[in-house]
Structure 1
Amino acid sequence: MPRIGSRPDLRQMIKRALDTPLFFYNAINGVATTATIDADGIYNYVSQISGLGTWTHVVGSANGTLFFYNANIGEAATATLDPGGNYRYVGSISGFGRWTHITGTSSGSVLFYNAYTGEGATARIDPAGNYHFVSSISGFGSWTHIAQTD
C-alpha cells in the first residue's frame, strides 16, 4: 500500500490545478496559442489554434473564460480555457454596439465602454462561457484606459 504523499501523480495534479492558462492571439492571421505558467513561474506551451477570425479585442475573465469582440462589425464570441490551457469555443454573439474598451474582471463580469460617447454596459460570462447581458451605464465621462485589479 502506498504511503500518503508518495504519489507523484497526485502532486502533479495539484500543481497543475494551480497553473494559470494564457491565451496569445494574432489579429493579422487569426492564429492563437495557449500555454500555462505554473506556480514556480515555468512556462508550458499547450497548443495552437487557427481560423479564429479577426477580433479587435480579446479579454479574459474569471474561470478561464474569454470574450472576443470585433469593433468593426459589432460581433462577439466566447470561449473557455481550462486550467491546463485547453481551448473550447462556446458561441458567437451578434448585435453589439460600438465599444472602444472592454475589460474582464476576476468575478466573471465584463465592462464595455465607449470613449466617444461616455456610454457603458456590463455583462457576465458564466463558468461555462455563456454570455449574459446585465445593464447599460451612462455618463462615464472620457477615459483613455480602464484596468481591472485583482
Structure 2
Amino acid sequence: MKIRYFFLLAMMLILSWGTSAAQDAVGEKTPSTLAGVWQMCFYRSASPDVPGELKTSNSLKILSDDGHFTNIVMMQTGAITIGYGDYYLKSPGVYTEVIEKNIHLPQLNGAKNDLHFELKENGNLMYLKYYLATDIDGNQLNTWCYEIWKRVEMPAEYPHDIVR
C-alpha cells in the first residue's frame, strides 16, 4: 500500500511540474522572433502593368523583448510616436496589441487588436493583417488591413555613406 501511495504521489508531482512548465512556455509574453525594430514597406512601380518593388517607408514599429510596442513615424521636422502599448503572442501566427494610445487609429485606444502575421525571408519580412470594424467616427468599415514590415538589421560595420 505504501508503495502505491508513494508511486501515486510521485506521478502527481511529475504531472504538476510538467503542467507548470507548459504553462510557463505558453504564457511567455514575447516571442523572440518578433522582438526588434521593424520598418513598414510598400510596393512601388513605375507602371501599373509592372509588379512593384518592395520599398521601405518612414514608419517604424518597435517590438521590445519585454512585451511593449511603439509605432514611430519619421518626418522632416523630427520623429513622432503615433501609437504604443503592450503586445503578446496569442497563438502561432497571431499576436495581440493592447493599445494604450494610437493617434493614427484612435478608435483602437484602449482596445486589443489581433494581428495575424506570417514571417518570410528567414524571419526578416513580416506580413500583417488586422481587422477594423469601425472608423474614427464609428462608421462601419468591416475591413481587413494589410501591412508589410521589414526587420531593421545592424550591418557588420558603420556605413561610410550615412547621412546624419
TM-score for both structures, normalised by structure 2: 0.32
TM-score for both structures, normalised by structure 1: 0.34
Q: Name the larger-Rg structure.
A: 2
Richer in helix (by share) = 2
